[in-house]
Homo-oligomer: A and B are copies of this chain.
Amino acid sequence: MQILDDIPRKHAKLDPDFECLVFEEFRLTWRQLNQRVDRLANGLIALGVKPGEHVAILAQNSHRFMEFYYACARAGIVAVPLNWRLSDNELKYILDHSETIALMAGAEYLDTAKRLRPKLAKVRHYISLDGPAEDMKNYEELLSQSSSKPHQGPRDENAVFILMYTGGTTGLPKGVMLSNRNIMTAALGCLLGMGITKADSTLMILPLFHIAFWPVIVVHYMGTKAVLSKKFDLGFVLETIQRERCTHMNMVPTIAAFLLIFPDLDKYDLSSLRALTYAGSPMPFELLMKLKEKFPNLDLGQGYGLTEAAPTVALLDQHDHQRTETDQDRRRLASAGRECLVTEVRVVNEKGETVKPGEVGEITARGANIMLGYWKNPELTAEVLRGGWLHTGDLATVDEDGYIYIVDRKHDMIISGGENVYPREVEEVIFKHPAVLECAVVGVPDPTWGEAVKAVVVLKQGMSATEEEIIALCKQHLAGYKKPKSVEFAGALPKTAIGKILRREVREKYWAGRDKKIG
C-alpha cells in the first residue's frame, strides 16, 4: 500500500465483512467504508473539485471524518482539517491562505460556517456533514446521489494528501504539507514500534483534525478496528473500551493524570487493553510510575514527534517501559526513547555537528515521513529542512545508546541571569509534590535577571500546597538559579485541542505590553 486510500480498498477485497470503523451507532465494515469512500470521491469530483484542489473539514470526530480523509486520498484532493478551537479570524486566515474551495462542517460548526461564509471569497461549496442545513449540501445526500463505482484517482504517493495547519508558536499558523507516503511511513513506524497486529483495535479519543489521528491509520493498515470517540469524557471512554474490547488507546500525559484519579476507574472491565501509548508532551516521571503501577500488564509506549514528521520521530517502547531495575533504566523512562525504525535522528549543535552524549543540541530527523514543506512558504521550508534534515526546534541530549532526552522547546528556554533554565526540568520536580495535578514553568520579566522562573500550578481537588513548599521542593532537587522565584496557583491551564499545555499562553499574560518574547 502506498496511497492512503489503498487501505480501505485492500481490506474491502481481503476482509469485506470485518467491522473496521465504529462511531456511536454507526458500524462500518470494510466493504461499506470502501463504498462510501468511493461515493464521496465520486461526489466531490462531480461537484467540480479537481485533484490537487483543497477541501477543508471543521468537525468533531466521526466516521465521516475518516471517510473524508480516505476519499481525498482516493481522488487526489488535498484535505485541510481545521482545529475547532480556533477563532473565526484564525479559521478565515487558514481558509484563505490554503485556497480552500469547499468546506465540510459538522453539526457543531454550522453556525461558524455561516458566520464565515460572507468573508470567504474562494470557498465555492459548503457541505453539512451531519444532516440537512440551509444553503449547504447534505453529506449523506451527496453520497447517495453519487456512484459507488470504484474511483480511479491520480495515485501519486508523493502528492500532498493533507495540509495541516499547526499552532503559530512563532506567529501565524503554518500549513504543513504531508504526502500519502509521509503518513503511511509514519504509521508503519508506530505499527512496528508497538507491534500492532490484526488482533488489535484502537479507541481514538484525540481529535482527527490533528496529526494524532495516526492510531486509526495504524490499525486500519493492519485491517483491524478503530473506534472513534467524539468528545473526551472519561466515563464514556472507559465504557467504550469495555464494550468494544479495544486493545489500544493513545493519549496525552494530562489524560493519564486524570485517568489515574478517576473515581470509577476500577468499575470497568479493561481486560482487553494491551497497550497504552502517550505522546504530545513529555510524561512526568512520577505520573509514569503511577501509570505503570496501576496497569502493570500493559505495553506502554511513548511517541515523540511533530506534525512535520507525520508525526513519528522517536519511540520509548514497551521493552523500555518494562526495564526499571537500574538507575539507567529508570532515567531512560524520562526520555523520549530512541529514533524509530522509519526515521533517523541526529541531535546537532549550531554548526550542524552531532553533539556528544550529554551535550544539548537540536533534534533533527530525516526519513520518508518528513513533510514536503510548508504551503506557500519556501523560505521557511528551506530553513527548516536545510541539509535534508527536519529541524524540530526541540532541544535534547542523547545518551550512548541513542536515548533522546528532550530538555525543552528551543523557544521555551528561560534565560535567567545568563543561565539557561529548561522549564521541563523544573516541572518534573514540581510533579513530585503529591498535590500537584498540572503545572507550567515559564520565564517572566525581571528587572534584575532579565527573566525569572515562575511556576503556575493546578492542584488536585481537595488537596493543598503552598508556594513555599513548592519552592523548597525545587531547591532540594535543583541548582538555585533553576528554582521558581514565584508560584501561582490556577484553576486550569490553557491547552491545545489534544490536551498539550500551552506554555506560550501561560507566559503571554506576564509579558503583556512589553517587548514580547515570543517562543
| Interface residues, chain A, with chain B CB atoms under 8 Å away | 1-2, 6, 10, 13-15, 157, 188, 191-192, 195, 197-198, 221-222, 319, 338-339, 341-342, 344, 367-368, 401-402
Contacts and interface: CB of A to CB of B under 8 A. Distances in A.
Most buried by B among A192, A222, A338, A367: A192
Given A195-B197, A197-B195, A10 B367 contact: no
Contacts of A188: 188
Contacts of A344: 1, 6, 10
A367 B6 CA distance: 11
Given A6-B344, A368-B2, A402 B338 contact: no
Contacts of A10: 339, 341, 344
Counted per complex, copies of this chain come to 2
B402 A341 contact: no
Contacts of A191: 192
Contacts of A402: 13-14
Nearest to A189: B1
Contacts of A342: 1
A354 to B, nearest CB: 10
Given A14-B402, A188-B188, A195-B197, A341 B2 contact: no
Given A2-B368, A367-B2, A401 B341 contact: no
Contact of A341 (B1, B13, B195, B339): B1
14 contacts: A1-B344, A10-B339, A10-B341, A10-B344, A13-B339, A14-B338, A14-B339, A14-B401, A14-B402, A15-B401, A191-B192, A192-B222, A198-B319, A222-B341
Most buried by B among A10, A197, A401: A10
Nearest to A188: B188
Nearest to A400: B16
Given A13-B339, A14-B339, 18 more contacts: A1-B341, A1-B342, A1-B344, A1-B367, A2-B367, A2-B368, A10-B339, A13-B402, A14-B402, A15-B401, A188-B188, A191-B192, A192-B222, A195-B195, A195-B197, A198-B319, A221-B341, A222-B341
A338 to B, nearest CB: 6
Most buried by B among A13, A195, A401: A13
A179 to B, nearest CB: 13
A6 B368 CA distance: 13
Contacts of A401: 14-15
A368 B14 CA distance: 20
Contacts of A6: 344
Contacts of A192: 191, 222
A319 B157 CA distance: 31
Nearest to A15: B401
A52 to B, nearest CB: 20
Contacts of A341: 1, 10, 221-222
Contacts of A14: 338-339, 401-402
A222 B188 CA distance: 13
A74 B228 CA distance: 43
A192 B2 CA distance: 15
Considering the complex of A and B, which 9 residue pairs feature the smallest CB-CB distances, nearest first? A14-B402, A13-B402, A14-B338, A2-B368, A195-B197, A1-B341, A1-B342, A10-B344, A14-B401
A198 B341 CA distance: 12
A401 B279 CA distance: 37
A263 to B, nearest CB: 38
Contacts of A1: 341-342, 344, 367
A303 to B, nearest CB: 16
Nearest to A388: B155
A402 B30 CA distance: 14
A435 to B, nearest CB: 39
Contacts of A339: 10, 13-14
A363 to B, nearest CB: 15
A6 to B, nearest CB: 7
Contacts of A338: 14
A320 to B, nearest CB: 11
A15 to B, nearest CB: 8
Nearest to A6: B344
A416 B93 CA distance: 73
Nearest to A342: B1
A10 B14 CA distance: 34
A154 B267 CA distance: 58
Nearest to A9: B344
Contacts of A198: 319
Contacts of A197: 195
